[in-house]
Amino acid sequence: MIRIVGHVAALHRYPVKSMAGEKLGVAEIDWQGIEGDRQYAFVRKANGTRFPWLTARDVPAMLLHRARFADPGAPKTSAVLVETPDGAAVSLHDPLLHNHLEAAAGEPVGLLQVARGVYDAMPISIVTTASHASVEAAHGNMLNPRRFRMNLMIESELPVTEWQGKRLAFGNGEDGAVVQMADPIPRCVLITIDPDTAAKEPRILRTVAQQFGNAYGVYATPARPGLIRAGDPVRLLD
């Protein structure tokens, strides 16, 4: 039985890992995830571990830099612009931007472009409004969803964990994407950083860790390439 379980309330991609991203009206899903998502990442040149990425855990102010594609419809070839905290728009390759990040990190940094996306685990992250509201209620305060850097927010009365192991289809046409829901997303100190001020609030991570098993949202992988549009109905396939 196929049934509608919600609608796409918000859709985001993040051209640069750990920088603020862009809100989309439509996203193209290929076998690697959302086109253009986490396509670039800064790395700590001297770090030889399996996690060499420079992130907001190291430089919280990275979250105050907003990255976007100059041509949103062509992320594979488009230049990337970064709006800095002072309101300037610069190229992602601007030497002054790189120097600023190096000074903040206290070590040499480089920039990588990875076409398949620089993901910690799986390429698509999904949460429902019901799940987010549960975290807010447990925490006792409203929380900006941007803290959690999700790709999709689905307006639904159901917790997103109900869809683990199932498939979700988007839209009503044949061009709609289908995703396979997987595991809950483990959380780290990144969610304690305010996306508007870079101020830290450790209590948020304690709430998620103690009352939600340190998970917020669910990972997903593409099951059928296609489009996801803001406002799309979301259908549960199995």
pLDDT of residue 231: 97
pLDDT of residue 174: 87
Q: What are phi and psi of 131, to 5 degrees?
A: -65, -45
pLDDT of residue 10: 98
Give the model confidence (pLDDT) of 15-54 as tens digits: 999 999 999 999 999 999 999 999 999 999 999 888 999 9
Instruction: Please return the burial class of 21, using the count of CB atoms within 10 Å of its CB with bins 0-12, 13-18 and 19+.
Output: buried
Domain chopping of the chain, boundaries: 3-236
**Spatial distance between the Cα atoms of 238 and 233, rounded to a whole number of angstroms:** 16
**Neighbouring residues of 120: CB distance < 8 A, sequence distance ≥ 6:** none
**CB-CB contact of 201 with 123 (8 Å):** no
Give the model confidence (pLDDT) of 162-181 as tens digits: 999 999 999 988 899 999 99
What's this model's pTM, rounded to 2 decimal places?
A: 0.95
Q: H helices then E strands: how many in the chain?
A: 3, 16
Arithmetic mean of pLDDT over the chain: 96
Give the model confidence (pLDDT) of 105-137 as tens digits: 999 999 999 988 999 999 999 999 999 999 999
Q: Where do we find the tokens 């807010």?
A: 136
pLDDT of residue 1: 59
Architecture of domain 3-236: Beta Barrel (2.40)
